[in-house]
Chains A and B, each alone.
Chain A
Amino acid sequence: MPEDEELEGTTLKVYLYMVKEGKPVGPRDVMRGAFLSSPSVAYRHLQKLETLGFVLRNAHGDYVLKEKVNIGGHLWIGRNLVPRLIFYSFFFIGILSAETVIIAVRLLVHEPLQTDFVFLCIITIIATVLFFSEGVVSFLKLKRQTNSGTESRQGS
């Protein structure tokens, strides 16, 4: 999977729309689907994607997705882009679960909790909350971007 370095803003929005559609699209489809002001704006971004090598033009003049590219800080799940931060937060939830079991066991057998372990738990909680909240914010932001296209299409 090729790496993306220039995919951002409206170009990213167009690219995400194409991934979601999963079929050849023309500038007018992109304009409606990605909620752009005119077909020429859609055309310009499609051309940029073609120059970057992410899309191809077929015999009918429509644009086809070449292959999915890595979007920095995100993972593809099917046709959806999910922030990696969400998975990092689940990794820390796993560690936090183990720490919770340790606290429960030690309290159950009346063994004291060591100060450094308590600090470790606090750090894990902070990491979990930060990764999860940042991940959710990023996920909702992406969802808003892709949904704005769908909503406009439904409206038209």
Chain B
Amino acid sequence: MRFRVKLALGSVIALVLGLIVSLPLLFPNLQLTTRIEIDVDVVYAYFDVPDFGSNITGLWKNFSEPQDYYSISYFIVLNITNPSDSIASVSEFEAAVAPEILVQNGTELLGSKKLALQSSKSNSEFAVSMQNPIIHDVRITTWLPGWSQYWSPHESRLIGLTGMVDIWNIAYQETLANGTMYLYGEAEGRPVGGGAQTRGFSLNHVQLQKMGRESLYNAILAENQIFRIDGLDVHIDTRP
């Protein structure tokens, strides 16, 4: 009996030694159980169809088949909040605009009923599908001069994504000409010091305000306010 006890003890010591050796691998993975939450909302979307034939602006673009393409400049603002009690590192931002967007979040289907009917249920935990997207802007950035990727606990910040794209006429007709569209915003981050990657997203079906060649969705600015753009960060100032 004493032999068996000693044998068991020796085996346990060897096993514990094995565990100790794997600690450098185990510890960062155990930290993955730490999670933060990220809330995202698309609060502002501006679209403009620049006049590339204008003599005033001097812009000119040669489309071989002009009726098939539109150039669109856009500015989309995401309101990103860290509702957690720990500091979050958020460095991946995404915005998409399309006439039909469907988000599959586990078993839940959000957004376009048309795409929901077409979709075959997959096993994926999270998937975004869209039809004729006019904008799909993804930014992965950990370092920009003067910009911080860290969100303090319960901090909200506005992130602006801007650019210019050429889109097909059919996508233009279905969204900007029509004035209704889906706005999708997403941000990903993790707790500072290690932890699981977390995704926050929002999907809104919105009606745009049309002002000539410009279109606008605004859920944040009051009449006396304007945006001040500072790299990726966007601040709200009072109009001078």
Contact residues of A with B, CB < 8 Å?
75, 77-80, 82, 86-88, 90-99, 101-102, 105-106, 108-111
> Does B121 belong to the interface (CB within 8 Å)?
no
Question: Could you show 9 A-B contacts with beta carbons less than 8 Å apart?
Answer: A78-B2, A87-B14, A88-B14, A90-B15, A93-B15, A94-B21, A95-B22, A97-B19, A102-B25
Q: Is the CB of B35 within 8 A of A94?
A: no
Q: Which of B172-204 contact A (CB under 8 A)?
A: 196-197
**Complex CA–CA separation, A109 to B197 (angstroms):** 8
> Does B17 belong to the interface (CB within 8 Å)?
yes
What class of interface size applies to chain B in its complex with A?
Answer: 20 to 34
Tell me the nearest residue of chain A to B14, going by C-beta: A90
Q: Is the CB of A105 within 8 A of B2?
A: no
**Complex CA–CA separation, A110 to B198 (angstroms):** 10
Q: Is the CB of B18 within 8 A of A95?
A: yes
Q: Is the CB of B19 within 8 A of A78?
A: no
> Does B11 belong to the interface (CB within 8 Å)?
yes
**Complex CA–CA separation, A108 to B16 (angstroms):** 24
Question: A97 contacts which of B15, B32, B125, B197 (Cβ < 8 Å)?
Answer: B15
SS class, residues of chain B in contact with chain A: helix
Q: Which B residues are in CB contact (< 8 Å) with A94?
A: 14-22
Q: Which A residues are in CB contact (< 8 Å) with B32?
A: 105-106, 109, 111
Q: Shortest CB–CB separation between residue B98 and chain A, in angstroms?
A: 26
Q: Which of B34-79 contact A (CB under 8 A)?
A: 35
Q: Shortest CB–CB separation between residue B88 and chain A, in angstroms?
A: 16
**Complex CA–CA separation, A105 to B196 (angstroms):** 10
> Does B226 belong to the interface (CB within 8 Å)?
no
**Complex CA–CA separation, A53 to B30 (angstroms):** 54
**Complex CA–CA separation, A79 to B11 (angstroms):** 17
Tell me the nearest residue of chain B to A103, going by C-beta: B29
> Does B6 belong to the interface (CB within 8 Å)?
yes
Q: Which B residues are in CB contact (< 8 Å) with A96?
A: 18
**Complex CA–CA separation, A46 to B26 (angstroms):** 52
Question: A78 contacts which of B6, B18, B196 (Cβ < 8 Å)?
Answer: B6
Tell me the nearest residue of chain B to A75, going by C-beta: B10
Q: Shortest CB–CB separation between residue A127 and chain B, in angstroms?
A: 11
> Does B33 belong to the interface (CB within 8 Å)?
yes
Tell me the nearest residue of chain B to A76, going by C-beta: B6
Closest 7 CB pairs of A and B: A94-B18, A98-B22, A90-B14, A94-B15, A109-B196, A87-B14, A91-B18
**Complex CA–CA separation, A94 to B15 (angstroms):** 4
Q: Shortest CB–CB separation between residue A96 and chain B, in angstroms?
A: 8
Known A80-B3, A109-B196; contact A91-B14, beta-carbon cutoff 8 A: yes
Q: Is the CB of A90 within 8 A of B11?
A: yes
Q: Is the CB of B125 within 8 A of A110?
A: yes
> Does B140 belong to the interface (CB within 8 Å)?
no
Q: Give the interface centre of B3, B11, B33 by most chain A CB atoms within 10 Å.
A: B11
Q: Is the CB of A92 within 8 A of B18?
A: yes
Question: B17 contacts which of A79, A91, A108, A109 (Cβ < 8 Å)?
Answer: A91
**Complex CA–CA separation, A78 to B26 (angstroms):** 35
Q: Which A residues are in CB contact (< 8 Å) with B12?
A: 90
Q: Shortest CB–CB separation between residue B67 and chain A, in angstroms?
A: 45
Known A102-B26, A106-B32; contact A78-B3, beta-carbon cutoff 8 A: yes
**Complex CA–CA separation, A120 to B15 (angstroms):** 18
Q: Is the CB of B15 within 8 A of A98?
A: no
**Complex CA–CA separation, A93 to B41 (angstroms):** 48
